[in-house]
Amino acid sequence: MARSSKPAAQGLFQRLSGWTPQLVLVPTLLAAFVYVVVFSLWTLWISISQSTLLPNMAYGGFGEYAALWQSKRWIVAYQNLFLFGTLYVLGSLIVGTLLAILIDQRVKFESVWRTIFLYPLAISFIVTGTVWRWIFHPQTGVERALNDLGWISAQFDWITDRDMALYVVVFTGIWHASGFAMALVLAGLRSVDSDLIKAAQIDGASMARTYRRVVLPTIWPIFVAVTVVLLQFAIKTYDLVVALTQGGPGVATTVPAIVVYDLMFQRGQIAQGAAAAVMILVALALVLVPYLIWSIWRDKQGKRTHG
Amino acid sequence: MAEVSHQAYDPLATGSKTQQARSRGIVYVLLTFFALLYLSPLLIIFMNTFRPLDEIVREGFISVPDSLSLKYWGEAWGSFCIGGTCEGVSRYFSNTLLMTIPATIFSTALGLVNGYALSKWRFKCDAWVFGLITLGVFLPAQMTLLPWAFVLGQIGLSNTIMGLVLVHTVQGTSFTTLFCRNYFVAVPDDLIKAARIDGAGFWRIFRRIMLPLSPPIVIVCVIWQFTGIWNEFLFGTVFTSGENQPITAAIVAFSGSGTGERHYNVEAASVIFAALPPLFIYVLGGKYFVRGLTSGAVK
Amino acid sequence: MTKFGKLLLGTTLAATTTYATSVVAEPKTNMMHQWAQGSEAAAIAKLGEMFEAQGGTWNQTAISGHTSNTLAKLRSDVVAGNAPAAVQLKGPEIAEWNATGATANLDAVAAAEGWDDVVAPELVSVMKPTGNWVAAPMNIHRVNWLYSSPKILNELGLEVPKTWDEFNAACDKIIEAGYVCIAHGAADWSDTTTFDSVVYGMDIDLYRKAFQEADVEAMRSQGMIDAFAQLRKMVGYMDDGINGRSWEQSMTMTMTGEAAFFLMGDWTVASANLAGFKEGVDYFCDQTPVNWGGDGFILNADSVVFFNQKDEDYVEGQKLLASIIMSPEFQVTFNVAKGSIPSRTDVDLSEGGFTQCQQKGLEDLKASVEQGTLVRSMAHNMTVLQKYRGAMMEVITEFVADDSITPEEAANQLADAVELQS
C-alpha cells in the first residue's frame, strides 16, 4: 500500500472496527446460510426433481409426495413421530423433574447421583440401544431372568408386540434424555429465590405443595427450553430405533428419519427421500414457529418491563 | 449464582423428626431404584466383556460371568480385526480424538464470540441472525448428507478428518451460539456500557469482561460438543474412509446385522473403550455442567 | 477468526498437495466393502496381503452393518466427485451404476483370464449388465438352506422334510412334542429370505415372474396367495419371541435343540462352526422344501464393482484387484471363511477346508444349473431394483408381524406396493 493512502486506510479501519460485532458474525452467518437455507432449498428442489440413484436437477413434479403419502410405512412413521415425540418429551420432563427434586433434597453424594442419571447422554445409542434390546427381549432379558428365578408365568414381551413396541422405544428414549431434563430442572431449582420457599414453608405448605405451587411455576421457561431441545431430539431420532427394534415388528416402530435414510440411500429413490425430509421440516416448523413467536413475544415483554 | 442462598433452605426440614427421617428414607430408596435402572445397561455391557463367546451364545447376555478374563479387553484395544486391519479400536480411537478436539475448540470459540456479539452489541435484525444460526440445530442429518458431500468435494476436503472437523464446527456452532448468547444476555449491560465509556472496544471488552465470566458456559459447550461429536456416526462413516474412520464407525461395524458372526465380548469391551472419554468428561465436568446451566445457558 | 480461517486454509492446502504427488503408475486401490469385522474382515485382510504381495498399495474402507451405510458413502463420494476405485455392490445395483456411466470396463482382464468360461452362468448376466464386465464376483451364497436339529428329529423319528406338506406335517408333530418348530428372528430381510424359499419351493415359475421380473399380475395370482398362506402357517410354527431376535440367536436355538428348523443362507455355516457347533451332530443342512422334486438353488453373490478413475495408479490397481479376486487361491480363502462357495465353478472344494455343507452346496448348484432350476435371490437383492425389493419387503415383514392381514390382502398389497414405485 502507498504511504499517501494511510489516513484513508485508517479511516476505513476505524469505520470497520465500528462494524466488528457484525463482521465477527459473518463467517458463522455465511456457514449457517449455506447450511440452513441452501441445503433446505436444495432438498426441496430435489424432492420435486427426477432424482433416482444420484441427484438430478431436472424437474419431475410432485409425484413423489403423492407416492410417499400412499405408503403405509410412511404414514405409520409420521404418526409414530407425533406419538413418540409427545410421550418422550412429557416422560423425560416428568422423570427428569422427579429426579431433580429428589437430588434437591440435600442428599449425600449428590455428584454421584447426578453423574449416574446424566451418563446415558454420554454413550451413543448404537451401544445402549442394543443392550436395551437384550433386556427387553423375552428370551434374553427380564422375562427370561424372571422365569429362571421361578416365576414361570412372568411375561414381558412388549418389544415383540406390535402395539406395545413403540412404548419400549419411548421408555429407552426417556432413559437417555431424562438426565438432561434433570440437569436443567435442577439448575432451575437452584436458581429459585429461597425466600419464596421459606415463605411457603412458614405458611405450612407441604413439600409436594411447595414444589407444585411455588417452585416449579417460577422455572417454567426452563421447561419450555427443555421441551424444544427434546423435540429436536425426537424428530431426529434414528439410531435409537435402529438399534432397538429396527423399526419392527413389521413397520410398527418406524420413524421418519429411518424412512428418509432408506429411501435416499438403500433404495436409490433420492427424490422421494427428499420429499420425506421436507415433511420432517414441516413437522419441525409446527414445533418451532410457535416457539419462535413465543420467544420474540417474551423478548418484547422483557424489554418493556426493563425499560 | 443463586446456589449459596439456596443452601440455607432444606425442603425436607419440616414436620417432626420421625417424619423427616421417613421422607429422607423415601428419597434414597427412589434414588437407588432409578440409579440401578439407569446403570443396568452399562453393567450388562461390562459383565459381557469378561465372558467367552460360547458362554454368551449359550447362556444369553444377562448373566454373571463364570470366569474373569481380561483377554477381550486386550483384543478389543489392539488386535481384533475391524475394517480389515487387525489393530483393534486403538487406531479409530485416536482418529476420533483428532476430530473431536479441534471441532469442539473451534465451535466453542466461535460460539463464545457469536454469543457475545449477539447479546451485547445489539443491531438491526440481530434476532433474525440469531434465529438463522440456531435453526441449524434442528436439521436432520440424513437430509444434509448429500449437500455436505458436494460441498466437501468442492473444497477438496472429502474423505479427510479436516472435512469432518468443518462439518462438526458448522453444525456445532449453532448449538454453542444458542447456549452462549443466552448465557451472556444475563451479564448486566451496565458493565459493558461502563467499559465502552472508558474507550474499550469490542475485543477488549470480550477479553476483559466476558471471557473471565465465561468458564461455566465454556464447560457446557465443551461437554455438549465433545460428547455429541464423539458419538456421531453417520457423518463419521460416510465422510471418511480407510484409516481415517472414527471409532463410531468401528462400533457400527460390530453392531451390523450383516451375515458375519458377532463377537459380543470384544464388542462389549470396544464399546467401553469408546464410551470412556465422554464418560470421563461427564464425571469430571458434570458438576460444572449443572452450574453452567444454572447461570443461564438455557433460558 | 482470521486465525481460524488461516488454519483452515492451511490444512486445506496441505491436504490437497499430499494428493498430487506420485508420478509413476503403481497399482493402488481403496476398496469399499461391508465385511468390517471378525473372520470376514480377516478374509479381506488376506485380499489386501495378496494385493500387496503383487506390488500394490492397499487401502480399504470397511463400512459394516446396513447396506444403506455403504450406499450412503458411495453416493456421497460420487456426489463429491471422487468415486471409489472398488466397491462391494450386488445384483441390480451393478446395472444401475453401470447405467450412470461411472463404472470401469474389465473386459481386458476378463478375456485374458477367461472369466466367461468359469463363472456360474446365472452370475455372468449380473456382472455384465450391458455386455461388458464391470464387476468381479467374489462368492456364491446359497439362500435356500434348511438347518435342522438332529436331536429333535431323532427323538420324534422324523425325516428332514422334502416338500412343504411334509414340512407342515413335521411341524405339527414338533409343536405337539413341545418344541419350537421354526427358529426365526424377524426383520425385513430375514422374513423375505424365508418367503423366497416358500415361493420358490411352491412354484418356480411364479418365483421367476414375481420376484425376478416384478410382474404385478403374478403377485396377485392364486399361487402367491397360497404362498402367503404357507408363510402364515409357518409364522404359527414360530415362537412368539421372533421380534428383536438376531439371526444368530435363532441359529443357536436350532443348534442347541430348542427349535427344530432354521431357514437361512449359508453364512450360517461359518457362524455355527465358529460358535463350536458341529455339522451332522448339532445340525443338518439340506435344501428348503420344494414341491416340484429335484434340486433347487437360490443364489446370492457378493461382487466388487469398479468405478472409473482418473489416477493411472488406481486404474492399474483395479486390474490387479480384479485378477486377484477371481484367482482360485483367493476364492478358497475367502469362501472358507464366509461359509459360501467360490464364484468360479472350477475350484475343487474337497481341499482347503470347505465343510460338507459347502461341498453339498456346490453339487446342488451344478445340479440346479443342469435342471434349469437356478434362480437369484430377491431377498438378497439379486433380482429387482431396490425400490421394488424394498416395497415388497415392507409388505412381507408386515404380513409376518400382523396376524390380521389375510393372504389375499397381502398378495394385493405386494402388487400395489410395486405398482406405486413404477
pLDDT of residue B260: 52
What is the rounded CA–CA span in Å between residue B72 and residue B263? Answer: 10
C220-239 average pLDDT score: 96
Q: How many domains does chain B have?
A: 2
Greater model confidence, A28 or A144: A28
pLDDT tens by residue, C54-101: 999 998 888 766 677 788 888 888 888 888 899 999 888 899 899 988
Residues B32 and B99 in one domain: no
Any domain includes B120: yes
Beta strand segments in C326-412, E: 374-376
pTM of the model: 0.83
A63-69 average pLDDT score: 92
Q: Percentage of residues in chain C with pLDDT exceeding 70?
A: 93
pLDDT of residue A272: 93
Touching subunits for chain B (3+ Cβ pairs under 8 A): A, C
Q: How confident is the model at residue B299 (pLDDT cuts 50, 70, 90)?
A: very low
Interchain contact, C402 vs A250, CB within 8 Å? yes
Q: Does C172 have pLDDT greater than 70?
A: yes
Write out the three cell numbers for C113. 483370464
pLDDT of residue B234: 84
Residue C26 region by backbone torsions, left for phi larger than 0, else alpha for psi between -120 and 50, else beta: beta
Interchain contact, A192 vs B298, CB within 8 Å? no
Q: Where are the domains of chain A?
A: 24-306
Interchain contact, B34 vs A210, CB within 8 Å? no
B38-46 average pLDDT score: 89
Interchain contact, A157 vs C240, CB within 8 Å? yes
Search chain A and give the residue with CA nearest B58.
Answer: A140
What is the rounded CA–CA span in Å between residue B283 and residue A122? Answer: 10
Name the CATH architecture for the domain at A24-306: Orthogonal Bundle (1.10)
Supply the mean pLDDT for chain C.
88
Class for domain C24-139+301-354, per CATH? alpha beta
Contact map slice: A 72-91 vs B, CB within 8 A: none
pLDDT of residue A3: 47
Residue A243: its chain C contacts at CB < 8 A? none
pLDDT of residue B192: 87
What is the rounded CA–CA span in Å between residue B134 and residue B174? Answer: 5
Query: Is residue A249 reached through a cis peptide bond, with omega within 30 degrees of 0 on the bond before it?
Result: yes
- The minimum CA-CA distance between A249 and chain C, rounded to whole Å, is 6
A199-208 average pLDDT score: 76
Q: Percentage of residues in chain A with pLDDT exceeding 90?
A: 29
Greater model confidence, B187 or C107: C107
Residue from C49, C60, C64 to probe the interface with B (highest B Cβ count within 10 Å): C64
Closest C-alpha among C13, C14, C40, C44 to residue C29: C44
C101-118 average pLDDT score: 92
Search chain B and give the residue with CA nearest A260.
Answer: B142
pLDDT tens by residue, A81-128: 999 999 999 999 999 999 999 998 888 888 889 889 988 988 887 777
Search chain C and give the residue with CA nearest B253.
Answer: C64
Name the residue facing C401 among A55, A157, A248 (closest C-beta). Answer: A248
Residues B103 and B183 in one domain: yes
**CB count in 10 Å sphere of residue C114:** 12
pLDDT of residue B102: 95
Residue C246: its chain B contacts at CB < 8 A? 257, 262
Place of cell 433347487: C296
pLDDT of residue C4: 45
pLDDT of residue A140: 72
pLDDT of residue C80: 87
Greater model confidence, A137 or A1: A137
Closest C-alpha among C8, A215, C391, C287 to residue B161: C8
Q: How many CB pairs under 8 A join A and C?
A: 104
pLDDT tens by residue, A118-129: 889 888 877 778
Q: Does A130 have pLDDT greater than 80?
A: no
Any domain includes B78: no
Any domain includes B137: yes
C24-139+301-354 shares its CATH topology with C142-299+358-421: yes
B4-8, C211-215, C369-373: segment of lowest average pLDDT: B4-8
- The minimum CA-CA distance between B286 and chain C, rounded to whole Å, is 29
Greater model confidence, A13 or A37: A37
Greater model confidence, B249 or B11: B249
Cβ–Cβ contact A288 with B under 8 A: yes
Cβ–Cβ contact A141 with C under 8 A: no
pLDDT of residue C106: 93
Residue from B44, B139, B224 to probe the interface with A (highest A Cβ count within 10 Å): B139
What is the rounded CA–CA span in Å between residue C16 and residue B160? Answer: 10
Touching subunits for chain C (3+ Cβ pairs under 8 A): A, B
Q: Where are the domains of chain C?
A: 24-139+301-354, 142-299+358-421
Interchain contact, C402 vs A269, CB within 8 Å? no
Greater model confidence, B75 or C204: C204
Supply the mean pLDDT for chain B.
82
Interchain contact, C36 vs B256, CB within 8 Å? yes
Search chain C and give the residue with CA nearest B256.
Answer: C65
pLDDT tens by residue, B194-204: 888 888 888 89
Residue C18: its chain B contacts at CB < 8 A? none
pLDDT of residue B244: 79
Write out the three cell numbers for C32. 469399499
Cβ–Cβ contact B190 with C under 8 A: no
- The minimum CA-CA distance between A115 and chain B, rounded to whole Å, is 6
pLDDT tens by residue, C295-349: 999 999 999 999 999 889 999 999 999 999 999 999 998 898 888 999 988 888 8
Interchain contact, A54 vs C100, CB within 8 Å? yes
Q: Does C34 have pLDDT greater than 80?
A: yes
B177-186 average pLDDT score: 85
Touching subunits for chain A (3+ Cβ pairs under 8 A): B, C
Any domain includes B76: no
Q: How confident is the model at residue B13 (pLDDT cuts 50, 70, 90)?
A: low
Any domain includes B80: no
Interchain contact, A160 vs C93, CB within 8 Å? no
- The minimum CA-CA distance between A237 and chain B, rounded to whole Å, is 9
pLDDT of residue A249: 84
Residue C247: its chain B contacts at CB < 8 A? 257
User: DSSP labels for A158-214?
Assistant: GGG-TTTHHHHHHHHHHHHHHHHHHHHHHHHHHHS-HHHHHHHHHTT--HHHHIIII
Interchain contact, B262 vs C59, CB within 8 Å? no
Name the residue facing A124 among B23, B45, B248 (closest C-beta). Answer: B248
- Please work out, in degrees rounded to the nearest 5, the angle formed at the alpha carbon of residue B192 by the alpha carbons of B189 and B193: 85
Residue from A131, A139, A245 to probe the interface with C (highest C Cβ count within 10 Å): A139
Strands C284-287 vs C180-183: parallel, antiparallel or unpaired: unpaired
pLDDT of residue B84: 61
CATH number of C142-299+358-421: 3.40.190.10
**DSSP H or E stretch at residue C170:** helix C164-176
For B179, the domain range is: 90-297
CATH number at B155 reads 1.10.3720.10
pLDDT of residue B15: 63
Name the residue facing C387 among A133, A159, A268 (closest C-beta). Answer: A268
Q: Does C117 have pLDDT greater than 70?
A: yes
pLDDT of residue B10: 62
Greater model confidence, C146 or A109: C146
What is the rounded CA–CA span in Å between residue A50 and residue C341? Answer: 40
Interchain contact, A265 vs C75, CB within 8 Å? yes
Interchain contact, A137 vs C72, CB within 8 Å? no
Q: How confident is the model at residue B295 (pLDDT cuts 50, 70, 90)?
A: low
pLDDT of residue B14: 60
pLDDT of residue B6: 43
Q: Percentage of residues in chain B with pLDDT exceeding 70?
A: 86
Residue B203: its chain C contacts at CB < 8 A? none
Q: Does A181 have pLDDT greater than 60?
A: yes
- The minimum CA-CA distance between B20 and chain C, rounded to whole Å, is 46
Search chain A and give the residue with CA nearest C405.
Answer: A250
